[in-house]
Amino acid sequence: MIRFYYHPTPNPLKISLFLEETGLPYEVVPVDTSKGEQHSPEFRQINPNSKVPAIVDNDGPGGKEARVFDSNAILLYLADKTGKFLPPKGDKLRGELLSWLMFVASGIGPYSGQLVHFRVYAPEKIEYAINRYAFETQRHFRILDHHLAKRKYMLGDAYTIVDMDLWGWARLIPNFSGEAAWAKFPNLKRLVEEISARPAAQRAVALKDKHKFKTEMDDEARRAMFRHMSEKVA
Ligand SMILES: N[C@@H](CCC(=O)N[C@@H](CS)C(=O)NCC(=O)O)C(=O)O
């Protein structure tokens, strides 16, 4: 059984999708990041970075308990564990899979996240920061879109963890860049819509309704998630 530390946000959603696609048995452990539960000493034992998603697999390699954090690492770990949704070891596409996973991990995720932060949550609306992150976010999505112009999925004909990985953030493009932004990424839109229509994706999205999470962005939530606001380090 896998314990899945979850909050209904883009990075955990990728893991929900993988778990639903494979049917691996899992138990959800809600982590309410707006209440600061990600900073509890118990959760920090699982993810020292105090962010979701994380998993504990009590049937890890050698039958031992394995703790894995970061959505990209978890996808790779679970794909290796099940042998599903990734090319086999030794396949030439394995290098491409790693490249695109790192691209999503270091480009799509952080830049989309910072765009949302500066556009929605930052107390001052700094045009320079918003434009930098909007520009970089769109540049990254354009690279995916261009790649998908000639392929059904990121690695060709097979649906893999790279597609699940990009889906977590790309499905929110209209939320952070406006509905019109889709027109710039028609191939990416096609893939996102195809994944969103999968029964596993619908179950993954519906998971948020099975647990109650705080939604107000109040002082408690800001203290938990934007810790730099109460600590000047520069
Ligand atoms: N690189 C990490 C990023 C994880 C991350 O930023 N998670 C967000 C939710 S999508 C979170 O836990 N936010 C709460 C916080 O930053 O305190 C991953 O891909 O899992």
SS3 of residue 30 by DSSP: strand
Give the integer Cα–Cα distance in Å for 190 and 22.
23
Q: How far is the CA of 59 from the centre of ligand 1 (A)?
A: 25
Find out whether 161 and 168 touch, Cβ atoms under 8 Å: no
Residue pLDDT, tens place only, 8-52: 999 999 999 999 999 999 999 999 999 999 999 999 999 999 999
Q: Quick one: average pLDDT of 143-149?
A: 98
Q: Kindly state if the Cβ of 71 falls inside 6 Å of ligand 1.
A: yes
pLDDT above 70 as % of the chain:
100
Residue whose CA is at the smallest distance from ligand 1 atom 16: 225
Alpha carbon 62 to its chain's center: 28
53 prior amide bond cis, ω within 30: yes
Q: Residue 176: pLDDT band by 50, 70, 90 thresholds?
A: confident
Q: Residue 211: pLDDT band by 50, 70, 90 thresholds?
A: very high
Q: What is the pTM of this model?
A: 0.97
| Pocket perturbation via mutation, ligand 1, pick of 13, 52, 171 by most ligand atoms within 8 A of CB | 52
Q: What are φ and ψ of residue 54, in 5° steps?
A: -150, 160
Q: Residue 106: pLDDT band by 50, 70, 90 thresholds?
A: very high
Q: What is the pLDDT of residue 89?
A: 87
Q: Kindly state if the Cβ of 33 falls inside 6 Å of ligand 1.
A: yes
Q: Kindly state if the Cβ of 14 falls inside 6 Å of ligand 1.
A: no
Q: How far is the CA of 11 from the centre of ligand 1 (A)?
A: 6
Higher-confidence residue of 178 and 38: namely: 38
- Tell me: pLDDT of 177 over 90: no
Tally of residues, the chain: 234
- Tell me: pLDDT of 164 over 90: yes
Q: How far is the CA of 53 from the centre of ligand 1 (A)?
A: 7
Q: Quick one: average pLDDT of 115-132?
A: 97
- Residue 9 C-beta-side C-alpha neighbours within 13 Å: 21
Q: What is the pLDDT of residue 97?
A: 97
Q: Kindly state if the Cβ of 34 falls inside 6 Å of ligand 1.
A: no
Find out whether 187 and 152 touch, Cβ atoms under 8 Å: no
- Tell me: pLDDT of 165 over 90: yes
Contacts of 80 (CB under 8 A, 6+ apart): 86
Q: Kindly state if the Cβ of 109 falls inside 6 Å of ligand 1.
A: yes
- Tell me: pLDDT of 186 over 90: yes
Q: Kindly state if the Cβ of 70 falls inside 6 Å of ligand 1.
A: yes
Q: Kindly state if the Cβ of 196 falls inside 6 Å of ligand 1.
A: no
Q: What is the pLDDT of residue 57?
A: 98
Q: Residue 178: pLDDT band by 50, 70, 90 thresholds?
A: confident
Q: Quick one: average pLDDT of 72-85?
A: 98
Q: Kindly state if the Cβ of 32 falls inside 6 Å of ligand 1.
A: no
Give the integer Cα–Cα distance in Å for 163 and 216.
31
Q: Quick one: average pLDDT of 151-180?
A: 96
Residue whose CA is at the smallest distance from ligand 1 atom 6: 51
